[in-house]
A and B are shown apart, each in its own frame.
Chain A
């Protein structure tokens, strides 16, 4: 697999710095608890007290005041000389001058962790490494940003729905989006603080000019009567240094957040006032943002950043390893010069290769001379008769990384006349669904040397059913009988249960029946989840979308002549048991946040909806559009649906029967008749759920897209990425 420059940089940066990032994240998370624990101490007091009040109260109780300061937690600290002549420093109540407690001592854990976090106990070398890694982290955030934008199909779709390939990938992207800014802040301030430590920032010190001749003939007034002390609140003061002696050349030195003041200790006159340069303010902000000092909320965010970074490292490497593992090694039995069938693959992540290889293997098993390679390797094939192209699309309709040169090659390389067909892989969530496959199809079609054998088909979310349908078509056109074997997956035994058959109806006019199963041991599931059943060890499991009715599973199954599972199920009797696995299908549960839901199904696709309607206790407005062959087809479900209507669990039911009249009416035609209603539904954030055959799905999506484009001036993908469309088609 070739990697794009962005992914390569992202990965390389992670490889180089992962160890340090792990250290910095763990220690950073621990350190985030220091400001939290400090903030929980109760030394916070009335902030409206003036500096004059504080000075007056302290003067009464102590011999001398050395400094009054506020710390990052806004606690007030006084350093005084007691009547006994000892110097002491402690928290005070600024109003009364009363001692509140001893200074919080930095605990050994935090001391140790701070050191490790800043310099890995390697002093300057460590500091440099930490600073560099922080810089790498910024680069990783930026490359990550680009990768997300590309994956989501443009920066404007940055926050649209993510295609869930697996746990690591999904949360890597999801958390990447939410934590991009905090991570950049942490990394940027980390770099800034490192630069500061290495004195690489412009000088930020300010100097005061001390008056040359100071007259001692001034009436001394008490400190607490100074105008500047009366007008300054204790909360604005960072530090106030009292004059060292009563020599007039010793001044009060006040540090505020943005400036410093020098005050004559006799007259209270401000003799010098200097505002801090920008660098100083940036340093303060960097320190605050990096350490979270003084705020519980930001400290929590910082702690989370640490945890999230650890997850990024874990999930990033898990993904890379998985990709590495699933990396398909191209193995060819025949040389490209001898092959009759050429399979060309365009894939960004490698998943399209899985399908292409299955097809390649089927060709070989069928005794064909076949050759498989990447689109970028396209060349002259002397004996080729047919070209089969499997390609994904990357980003905003671009070619995947291993197909970027194909268009150019096509113009330069000579081949004798070839048949071709293109299969596109992608996700309906993206507006540019299978765009590149379309482009390849158009390119070949426009080329005089190619002859389109099959229309372009698009496969959503790697649907194996859709792929099998395409093979059937290809077989018919080619007069072949290739058989694709779906790789058997291990089912998760944790969710495997024995079910008892409670009821099975007879086959209806369409060879369809209902099967009611009861789990013998408790298991949690919802309508829309999937029941996977393996007819025997070597077969891949078949999945059925399930309805939950009174704690039982209700399946609607159509018996196929050659269907192993459906035939087996159709022979089950009450009290028989079967073993099957339930897998959660979160993407296809009845939405909880919306009140209006449109359900669209044909044939047995109605199954999960039966459960959703039955369970509609909150009385959502459910509109069911169903397409079947004849009125009699509906009888199987009529009982449940009528009951639901009576109990206001089903708002409306619209049906289309294809075989009932001269012209065929399908479920998508019902949608056209309800154009305005559907447009309004989308506009009001209503959800549309679709379940049934793939062919129905694509017709329905087409109609819906027309409706939204015409009535709302938005493509359907806008609503899809908004999570308003849920699909489970086969």
Chain B
């Protein structure tokens, strides 16, 4: 018995060290989304990280807490819906027309200046869906900028924490 406990302990520690090493450094950014003055229900917005090939890598933030409406964000739903990673920790309340929302998102430092992109998708119940309401290349400059939106988002602003 003692041996088993010891083995488990050793393995756990070893695994912990390994996984720690594989973790890359990451930074937090304050990100504000300012909505246009549209009327209707609160919008669902997903912020995703895309690789240089334009494929989904990670869901950074989900604005909208009722998962019943997640499928209205169609492209992302195709990616997320099948995998269903745990996103509970990064969801927030919906945001309505004219309002703003500020969230903190975390991005691995090694994704900067490598052709990765940030995509903001938005959808409003009974209204449109914008696959890329805001899309920007992830560079050390763009994370300090303001980008205009094409759909329900008027603009987004980012700032390193």
Contact = CB atoms under 8 A, between A and B. Distances in A.
A241 interface: yes
Given A205-B98, A244-B102, A199 B40 contact: yes
Contacts of A123: 125-126
Contacts of B30: 64, 81, 244
Contacts of A103: 93
Interface string A98-137: 0000010110000100010000000110010000000000
A86 B68 CA distance: 26
B37 interface: yes
24 contacts: A64-B30, A66-B102, A79-B102, A81-B30, A85-B104, A85-B161, A86-B28, A87-B103, A87-B104, A89-B93, A103-B93, A111-B68, A115-B68, A123-B125, A124-B126, A127-B126, A196-B39, A197-B41, A205-B37, A244-B32, A244-B157, A244-B159, A245-B157, A245-B159
Interface string A181-213: 000000000000000110100000100000000
Given A199-B39, A205-B37, A244-B159, A86 B66 contact: no
Contacts, number: 44
B113 interface: no
Given A127-B126, A199-B40, A241-B100, A89 B92 contact: yes
Nearest to B103: A87
Interface string A244-263: 11000000000000000000
B108 interface: no
Interface of A: 64, 66-67, 79, 81, 85-87, 89, 103, 105-106, 111, 115, 123-124, 127, 196-197, 199, 205, 241, 244-245
A81 B159 CA distance: 13
Nearest to A124: B126
**Closest 3 A-B residue pairs measured CB to CB?**
A87-B104, A85-B28, A66-B102
A86 B32 contact: no
B65 interface: yes
Contacts of B37: 205
A721 to B, nearest CB: 50
A322 B30 CA distance: 68
Contacts of A86: 28, 104
Nearest to A196: B39
A124 B30 CA distance: 35
B43 to A, nearest CB: 14
Range, interface on chain B: 20 to 34
Nearest to A241: B100
Given A123-B125, A244-B32, A197 B40 contact: yes
A124 B124 CA distance: 12
A106 B94 CA distance: 13
Contacts of A205: 37, 98
B69 to A, nearest CB: 10
Contacts of A245: 157, 159
Contacts of B93: 89, 103
Interface in B91-116: 92-93, 98, 100, 102-104
B129 to A, nearest CB: 13
B71 to A, nearest CB: 13
B143 to A, nearest CB: 13
A324 B8 CA distance: 81
Interface in B43-98: 65-66, 68, 92-93, 98
A244 B104 CA distance: 12
Nearest to A111: B66
Nearest to B38: A199
A64 B102 CA distance: 11
A279 to B, nearest CB: 11
Nearest to A88: B104
Contacts of A87: 102-104
Contacts of B125: 123
Contacts of B28: 85-86
A81, A105, A244, A245 interface centre (most CB from chain B within 10 Å) = A244
Contacts of A85: 28, 104, 161
A87 B41 CA distance: 24
Contacts of B104: 81, 85-87
Contacts of A79: 102
A86 B104 CA distance: 6
B160 to A, nearest CB: 10
A85 B39 CA distance: 33
B100 to A, nearest CB: 7
Contacts of B161: 81, 85
A81 B103 CA distance: 9
Contacts of A244: 30, 32, 102, 157, 159
A449 to B, nearest CB: 71
Contacts of A64: 30
A127 B32 CA distance: 32
B52 to A, nearest CB: 27
Given A64-B30, A244-B102, 15 more contacts: A81-B161, A85-B28, A85-B104, A87-B103, A89-B92, A103-B93, A106-B65, A111-B66, A123-B125, A123-B126, A127-B126, A196-B39, A197-B40, A199-B40, A205-B98
Contacts of A81: 30, 104, 161
A114 to B, nearest CB: 9
Contacts of A111: 66, 68
Contacts of B126: 123-124, 127
A86 B28 CA distance: 8
Interface in B118-145: 125-126
B17 to A, nearest CB: 23
Contacts of B157: 244-245
B14 to A, nearest CB: 28
A687 B23 CA distance: 89
B37, B65, B104 interface centre (most CB from chain A within 10 Å) = B104
A87 B30 CA distance: 9
B37, B92, B126 interface centre (most CB from chain A within 10 Å) = B126
Nearest to B157: A244
Nearest to A86: B104
Nearest to A200: B39
A63 to B, nearest CB: 8
Contacts of B100: 241
A124 B98 CA distance: 22
A482 to B, nearest CB: 70
A205 to B, nearest CB: 5
